[in-house]
Structure 1
Amino acid sequence: MTLQNIFLLLFAPCVGGFLALLVVRLPSGRRVVFGRSQCDSCEMQLAVWDMVPLVSSLVLRGCCRSCGARIGLLASGVELLALGIAVWAVLVLPPDGWLPWIGAALGWLLLTLALIDARHFLLPDMLTLPLIPAGLLVTWWGDQSTAGSGLLLHHLAGALVGFGGLSGIGWIYKRLRGREGLGLGDAKLMAAVGAWVGWAGLGSVLLWAALPALVGPAAVLC
């Protein structure tokens, strides 16, 4: 294992702690970067040793050092998930270069979007929109190393098809039912997916994304 990948695994839980802050603070408009972490019950500012990824939660047993209130398992859970994504990137992606870092960063952002969407039914533009140029940039970088195979055009088409397809479905649904059924946040996220996987990969991504929604009602009916 390379030194870069070892550092990625050590860095991942720290990223997870920051992602947990994004999940809690971003939808409510609270400051993320410059705001001090504090207990929501007694509002005591947390010290550095209260925020050591994974370790502090175990030592404090998930409670505030000052008032003893339950802090919750969100931060620890996201830290573990961020570490799991980093492990996946190290094991699956080519070990040389920055691909494991790029794969982990993409996974971390998608994890954050999934958690925010599950908690608040919201996909913030500040997280989804940067994924579009990032996917095209990574594709262009890989295209240069494969002697100009034209991948960038396929991924650009993927972004356009992804956005146009979902936004079109949302428009049709609204015209037929008279209410919103699919927000533009989903269309922007699908544009980002297209920028990363290309137009040919959109079908499989949509299938895997829709599968839980199809399996759930089917399981209830059975």
Structure 2
Amino acid sequence: MSALWQRGRCRSCGAAIDPIHWQMEAAALAIGVSAGLVAPGAAGMAGAAFGWLLLALAALDWRAFWLPDRLTGLLAAIGILGAMADVPPPMADRLVGGALGFGLLWAIAAGYRRWRGREGMGGGDPKLFGAIGLWLGWRMLPAVLLVAALIGLGVVVARRLAGRPMAADDALPFGTLLAMAAYPAWLMMIGALA
């Protein structure tokens, strides 16, 4: 049952429910409504599934630096199914986007590891970007990557202004940033086609 409906308290014991639950519910509602408004029907349902999976992945990465392969794989599989159901973009663009998204971030991570001698990106980030490419196609990937990087830069600036500067080895959940950039990109892409 909804944390908001229960006024932030557990129904059985009365303990406070972490506010993240009602925030996730509100975000999921906004995703479903926006997908339905931009693309009613099958495309909207596919878009809502895209957004909800991105929301779950973003939350897991933000809280635990974890992008489960099962969720990322499901995101990728539904992206392929979307093309089979004639939801734009076409299959060829999606396949190139999947390969390019994965390959680009994998190459960046491998290059950083070789150059610095340590990990700079988790193994789930290239998989997530590949799955996003299977949804958006290759043409949207540069914009998603740029927006994700700008959001990350905004987080760093906000932390600095709050008096909590980040060190060079502090980590940001890049999967969260990619997810935050990808869903609005899908809305814009589908909205432009409508």
TM-score with structure 2 setting the length:
0.75
Query: Letter of the aligned partner of 2:15 in structure 1?
Result: A
Q: Give the direction of change, closer, same or farther, for the CA distance of 1:69–1:157 in structure 2 (3 Å limit).
A: same
Considering only CA atoms, is the larger Rg found in Structure 1 or Structure 2?
A: 1
Whole-angstrom distance in 1 between the partners of 2:84 and 2:10: 47
Partner of 1:195: helix, strand, or coil? helix
Call closer, same or farther: CA 1:63–1:130 in 2, change over 3 Å: closer
CA apart distance, 1:54: 3.1
- When normalised by structure 1's length, the TM-score is 0.66
Shift in Å at residue 92 of structure 1? Answer: 1.5
> 1:114 deviation in Å?
0.4
1:131 is the counterpart of 2:105: no
Distance 2:13 2:117 in 1: 50
Aligned mates of 1:89, 1:129 — CA distance in 2:
21
Aligned match of 2:123: 184
Give the fraction of aligned pairs with identical amino acids, expressed as a percent.
47
- SS of residue paired to 1:71: coil
Q: Measure the CA separation in 2 of the matches of 1:76 and 1:198.
A: 32
Verify: 1:205 aligned to 2:149, yes or no: no
Cα distance change of structure 1 residues 216 and 63 upon mapping to structure 2, 3 Å threshold:
closer
Q: What amino acid is the match of 1:216?
A: V
1:142, 1:192 → 2: CA distance?
18
| Separation of aligned partners in 1, 2:76 and 2:15 | 41
Q: Which runs of 5+ in 1 are unaligned?
A: 1-50
Number of aligned pairs?
Answer: 161
- The residue matched to 1:129 in structure 2 has which SS? helix
Shift of 1:215: 2.3
1:86 aligns to 2:32 (yes or no): yes
**For residue 157 of structure 1, what is the amino acid of its counterpart?**
V
- Equivalents in 2 of 1:162, 1:87: separation in Å? 28
Note if contact 2:3-2:17 (Cα within 8 Å) is conserved in structure 1.
no
Cα shift readout 1:116-149 (whole Å, capped 9, x = no counterpart)? 0000001000100122222122113217xx9xxx
Task: Find the aligned partners of 1:69 and 1:217 in 2 and give their Cα distance.
Answer: 34
Greater RCO structure (CA 8 Å; 6+ sep): 2
How big is the alpha-carbon RMSD for the aligned residues of Structure 1 and Structure 2?
Answer: 2.2
